C-alpha cells in the first residue's frame, strides 16, 4: 500500500492568508466592532420629532440612524452607557459645545459641534431620551 506524504510547504501561507482575511473581516466587515444596535422607534413627542430632524442634520452621520451607531465614527447613543444617571443632559450639552475626549469607546475624541444651537440641542436630547426609554434604557446611578 502506497502512502502519500502531504507537502506542508503550502500550509503556513494558507493559514496566514486565511487568518489575515478573517482579521480584516472582523475589523472592517459589516457591523464589526462598531457598536451598532437595533433601535425601536416609539411615537415621539412634538419636541422629540423636532429633535429627530436636528439629530439627522447634525449627529446621525457619526452616531448612526436613530442614535444606533454603526458608522465606525461614533458610538450609539441609545445605549445604557448614556443612561440619564450616568450621562445627564448636561453631559450631552458639554460634549456638543466643548467636544469630549474618548472615554467609553474606541472611536476617538468628539470635536465640538458649534453649528448646533441650544434650542436644537434641547430637542436632540429629548429625542435621544425618548428613544432610550422606548428601548428599556432607564436612569441608574453611576458606580465606579
How is 3-31 classified by DSSP, letter by letter?
A: -----GGGHHHHHHHHHHHHHHHHHHSTT
Measured over the CA atoms of residue 56, residue 30, residue 92 and residue 102, the dihedral's sign is negative
Has residue 111 been placed in a domain?
yes
Check the CA dihedral 92-94-95-100 and report its sign.
negative
- CA dist 113 and 115 (Å) reads 6
> 122 Cβ partners below 8 Å, 6+ apart?
47, 51
Residue 14 has pLDDT above 90, yes or no: no
Can you give the pLDDT at residue 103? 86
Global pTM reads 0.74
Residue 132 corresponds to which cell in the numbers above? 432610550
- Domain with 86, as residue range(s), is 46-134
**What is the mean pLDDT of the segment spanning 109-113?**
96
pLDDT value at 99 more than 90: yes
User: How many structural domains are present in the chain?
Assistant: 1
Residue with more model confidence, 104 or 46: 46
Domain assignment present for residue 38? The answer is no
- What's the rounded Cα separation, in Å, for the pair 56 and 64? 9
Q: Which is nearest to 104 in space by CA: 46, 144, 52? A: 144
69 within a domain of the structure (yes/no): yes
Residue 37 is predicted with a pLDDT of 86
Can you give the length of the chain in residues?
Answer: 144
CATH number of the domain within which 95 lies: 1.10.760.10
Residue 80: inside a domain, yes or no? yes
Lowest-confidence range among 49-53, 103-107, 108-112?
103-107
Residue 112 is classified by DSSP as P
Amino acid at each position: 500500500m502506497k502512502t502519500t506524504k502531504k507537502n506542508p510547504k503550502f500550509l503556513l501561507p494558507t493559514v496566514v492568508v486565511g487568518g489575515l482575511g478573517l482579521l480584516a473581516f472582523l475589523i472592517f466587515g459589516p457591523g464589526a466592532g462598531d457598536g451598532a444596535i437595533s433601535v425601536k422607534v416609539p411615537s415621539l413627542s412634538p419636541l422629540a420629532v423636532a429633535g429627530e430632524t436636528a439629530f439627522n442634520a447634525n449627529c446621525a452621520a457619526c452616531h448612526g440612524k436613530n442614535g444606533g451607531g454603526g458608522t465606525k465614527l461614533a458610538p450609539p447613543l441609545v445605549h445604557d452607557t448614556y443612561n440619564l444617571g450616568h450621562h445627564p443632559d448636561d453631559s450631552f450639552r458639554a460634549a456638543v459645545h466643548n467636544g469630549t475626549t474618548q472615554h467609553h469607546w474606541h472611536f476617538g475624541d468628539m470635536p465640538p459641534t458649534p453649528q448646533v444651537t441650544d434650542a436644537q440641542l434641547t430637542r436632540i436630547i429629548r429625542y435621544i431620551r425618548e428613544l432610550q426609554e422606548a428601548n428599556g434604557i432607564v436612569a441608574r446611578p453611576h458606580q465606579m
